[in-house]
A and B are shown apart, each in its own frame.
Chain A
Amino acid sequence: GQSLEQPSEVTAVEGAIVQINCTYQTSGFYGLSWYQQHDGGAPTFLSYNALDGLEETGRFSSFLSRSDSYGYLLLQELQMKDSASYFCAVRTSPYNNAGNMLTFGGGTRLMVKP
């Protein structure tokens, strides 16, 4: 079976740094994605790691360690607008013509306080 584990909730203050972890056990692994979802909104793509290491995009960075089946999303200089749910998702097939491409974790609700 497939499983992705994330903390259900994280709280941090404005301006701080927060790390959201994701551990996975899947039948195939070809990359880890992160999506952000504000309350009442649609998930939006944040980042993708296929190889080990850190990918940085502005205030957000994502890390992957394939040997540990582990990744994290790092949010720096937190702002109130970062309050949202964050989902990790594993790509389970290397082929673009495969169907079920993503398995999602249960999501982490981030609350940013003033």
Chain B
Amino acid sequence: EAQVTQNPRYLITVTGKKLTVTCSQNMNHEYMSWYRQDPGLGLRQIYYSMNVEVTDKGDVPEGYKVSRKEKRNFPLILESPSPNQTSLYFCASKRQGPEGSNQPQHFGDGTRLSIL
């Protein structure tokens, strides 16, 4: 089954304790992205990756890191989490497709982080 898998689904942790949220896709997609979702703000992009070893900042990258060492994996790292990073996080992937075509994004089931 084609899917984007995030782990963990839920995490409660404390300020300053490093954490990693993993994301893996089995569709051989080139593009992967991380979003955070907060009430009334929709989905805001944190980081994205066009392919292996190619990553770049989205709209709200502060406090986050990513890496793309393999095509299927795109972990999100919070080196020193703070309470304002309490949010619902989604990983997404898509194939690049022919130029000009629209390729929908496929989302994982989300990770709810609470930073105390």
- Residue numbers of A with Cβ under 8 A of B are 4, 8, 31, 33, 40-45, 48, 50, 87, 89, 91, 94-97, 99-102, 104-107
B59 contact set on A, CB distance < 8 A? 100
Chain B residues with CB under 8 Å of chain A are 4, 31, 35, 40-45, 48, 50, 56, 58-59, 90, 96-110
Say yes or no: A99 contacts B56, CB within 8 Å.
yes
Contact call B109/A100, Cβ cutoff below 8 A: no
Query: A50's closest neighbor in chain B, by CB?
Result: B102
Please count the residue pairs between chain A and chain B whose beta carbons lie under 8 angstroms apart in the complex: 61
Question: CB-nearest residue of chain A relative to B49?
Answer: A99
> Taking the nearest CB of chain B, how far is it from the CB of A34, in angstroms?
10
Consensus secondary structure, chain A interface? loop
In the bound complex, how far is the Cα of B44 from the Cα of A4, in angstroms?
12
Inside 8 A of A106's CB, which chain B residues have their CB? 40-42
* Nearest CB in chain B: distance from A81 CB, A: 18
Q: Which of A87, A96, A102 interacts with B96 by CB under 8 Å?
A: A96
Q: Which of A43, A44, A102, A107 has the most C-beta atoms of chain B within 10 angstroms of its own C-beta? A: A43
- Check A33 against B102 for contact (C-beta < 8 Å): yes
Q: Find chain A residues with CB under 8 A from B56 CB.
A: 99
Whether B48 and A42, one on each chain, are in contact in the complex, defined by CB atoms closer than 8 angstroms, is no
Instruction: Compute how far the CA of A54 lies from the CA of B58 in the bound complex, rounded to whole angstroms.
Output: 31
Q: Give B98 Cβ to nearest chain A Cβ, in Å.
A: 8
Q: Determine if B96 and A105 form an interchain contact, defined as CB atoms under 8 angstroms apart.
A: no
Task: Give the complex CA separation of A24 and B16 in angstroms.
Answer: 38
